[in-house]
Structure 1
Amino acid sequence: MAAALRDLAETDVREPIPATALLAALQTPPFVLVPGTFNTRDLGLLQPGTGIRPGFIFRTGGLEALARSADGQATLREALHVRRIFDLRSREEHARFVDPALEGVEGVWLGDEGHGAAEENPMLDLDLFVDGQGEGGYIAMYMDVLDKYRGTFREVLASVRDRPDEAIMFHCTAGRDRTGVLAGLLETLAGYDAETVRTDFLLSRIGTEVAREHLLGFARKYSKGSAGNGDSSTSFDEAPGFLNLVSLRGVCWDAFVEAVGMKFGGFEGYAINVLGFSEEDLVTIKKNLTEGP
């Protein structure tokens, strides 16, 4: 399953993944084929028999193309039975590409998240990604996600607690960073081992390949620093830190998890002390993640 894709997921982002290998990977669990989407995965297929139950929690990238795909919409509703879609994007992203309205599917986007001016200028400081493999930049970026999007994270966990019979999906623009942090939270609460959680993080290298050039352009637009400055022509060599920013490496995820442990006492501590859930709530959330209603 997911472990079989690990080597391909470590393909250098500067090199395209061969088409034949990519097609085979996207047809391998945990990936799920939904026309009009990319980087779509069932978190219950990461390691069958343990962790999240299949068909309950899905992650994906931006859904703007789904509006043009009747087949994709039908797959979401009738095959995957998704009933709620959580949007982890900024006001600017959401306004530019509004999620399609799907009959029988509730869209959840908390537009007041992001804290005003900081959200209107979501530039990433490349200087934070220069040292090592970019661990410091990833810690800063992902801790910011835990802060900015805590309202949506709270809504997702509440949905798991209160609506265990309703499959959910969540996404950002690439389905990589903001989506990856939320996925890691859910996977950890469900009891997946660290290697499985790390592997799911890395699988976005495969899932975003179909949109690689577009997403690299997005990263260039929102990068600043000693050589970035939001220049859409920024190259890997010209901007120190840019390669680390757009690469996915296990050491960066591990550094973030360690930081979560130091600041919150782990993801459970974050759920209790930041999101406001009780220990009893977490017992219910964990049960609903792993067992059907």
Structure 2
Amino acid sequence: MFIYNRLIALEGAHNVRDLGGYRTAGGNSTRWRSILRGDALHDLSAADIEALLGHGLATVIDLRNAHEIAAQANPFVGHDRVRYHNTPVFSALAPVEMMAEASLSFDMGDRYCQAIDKCRPAIAEVLNIIAEAPDGAVLFHCSAGKDRTGVIAALLLANAGVDETTIIEDYALTATISGPLIARLRQRALDRGMSSTLIDIVLASEPRSMRQALDHIRLHYGSVPDYLRLLGVDEAQVSRLKARLS
């Protein structure tokens, strides 16, 4: 039997990984090389791009905003074998510095909860793109592959029947596999004048942050499938999202 690696080793990205291989409530496992999550792709080498194409990559969804893309262009824009989409997921939120100033106990879980409430049109658009994507692997990504990417990954895994403990573990993997990436992002934040205390909060992948987001969905929306329906993701699309990981 072929053995898949969750982390896809690339020269120019550090957090591109597979949502396959997770046990579901039905006793099966999520499908490998169907949906990938990742960090920024601007430094991918030609060999990296060929490697991703070799894994079946057919759709890329960039969750970053226009400013981020202008600074670090996506190599799949205009690619002849990959469909590229840009949906900035957190654009409806205040800058993280403002959110931190407004709360003495700010945690990234607070930001995820706000995104779940305030970024529903963008989240719905991303999920619809995935549901309607052509055959082949879908890769969605942001800058670190942790926050915007983490929220979308959690929704997809929960909808596929993966338990919350596993979803939280998947979220927390960034902290253990992305040391060089986190170090680089930390230095960039310091250069922008962000406080080291806030940087530590923003770049952390604390399990409690994703737990807070999942609890928020359960408390305010009932379940992830209920939340998806509220977004306007219809039953057929909910089923297609689940089938992509089945």
Q: TM-score range by the shorter chain?
A: 0.7 to 0.9
Distance (Å, rounded) in 1 between the aligned partners of 2:41 and 2:118? 21
CA contact (8 A) 1:50 1:192 kept: no
Pairwise CA distance, 1:280: 4.0
Cα deviation, 1:135-167, whole Å, max 9, x if unaligned, reads xx3333113333565444334432443346231
- Of residues 158, 174, 178, the one that matches 1:204 is 174
Match of 2:222 in 1: 265
Corresponding letter in the other structure for 2:56: H
Q: Which runs of 4+ in 1 moved over 6 A?
A: none
Normalised by the length of structure 2, the TM-score is 0.84
Match of 1:227 in 2: none
Corresponding letter in the other structure for 2:218: G
Match of 2:70 in 1: 95
Cα deviation, 1:16-75, whole Å, max 9, x if unaligned, reads xxxxxxxxxxxx931111332210101103459734210100011011101xx1100101
Judging changes above 3 Å, is the alpha-carbon distance between structure 1 residues 111 and 204 closer, same or farther for their aligned structure 2 residues?
Answer: closer
Match of 1:231 in 2: 193
CA contact (8 A) 1:129 1:242 kept: no
Match of 2:43 in 1: 65
Pairwise CA distance, 1:111: 6.1
1:58 counterpart SS class? strand
Q: Percent identity?
A: 25
Pairwise CA distance, 1:217: 3.4
- Of residues 75, 81, 90, the one that matches 2:51 is 75
**Is 2:14 aligned against 1:38?**
yes
**Is 2:209 aligned against 1:252?**
yes
Corresponding letter in the other structure for 2:5: P
Distance (Å, rounded) in 1 between the aligned partners of 2:13 and 2:173? 15
Distance (Å, rounded) in 2 between the aligned partners of 1:126 and 1:285? 34
Pairwise CA distance, 1:289: 2.3
CA contact (8 A) 2:112 2:213 kept: yes
Distance (Å, rounded) in 1 between the aligned partners of 2:227 and 2:146? 21
Corresponding letter in the other structure for 2:55: L
**Is 2:101 aligned against 1:145?**
no
Judging changes above 3 Å, is the alpha-carbon distance between structure 1 residues 153 and 112 closer, same or farther for their aligned structure 2 residues?
Answer: closer
Match of 1:12 in 2: none
Pairwise CA distance, 1:283: 2.7
Distance (Å, rounded) in 2 between the aligned partners of 1:158 and 1:111? 14
**Is 2:61 aligned against 1:104?**
no
CA contact (8 A) 2:90 2:148 kept: no
C-alpha RMSD of the superposition: 2.8
Pairwise CA distance, 1:85: 0.5
Distance (Å, rounded) in 2 between the aligned partners of 1:179 and 1:44? 16
CA contact (8 A) 1:161 1:281 kept: yes
1:64 counterpart SS class? coil
2:10 counterpart SS class? coil
Corresponding letter in the other structure for 2:57: V
Cα deviation, 1:107-150, whole Å, max 9, x if unaligned, reads 101369725xx67x56453346643xx5xx33331133335654
Match of 1:55 in 2: 33
Corresponding letter in the other structure for 2:50: A
Corresponding letter in the other structure for 2:112: Y
CA contact (8 A) 1:29 1:46 kept: no
CA contact (8 A) 1:88 1:152 kept: no
**Structure 1, 99-108 or 181-190: larger mean CA deviation:** 99-108
Judging changes above 3 Å, is the alpha-carbon distance between structure 1 residues 138 and 43 closer, same or farther for their aligned structure 2 residues?
Answer: same
1:45 counterpart SS class? coil
CA contact (8 A) 1:39 1:207 kept: yes
The size of the alignment, in residue pairs, is: 239
2:196 counterpart SS class? coil
Judging changes above 3 Å, is the alpha-carbon distance between structure 1 residues 113 and 184 closer, same or farther for their aligned structure 2 residues?
Answer: closer
Match of 1:125 in 2: 99
Match of 2:158 in 1: 188
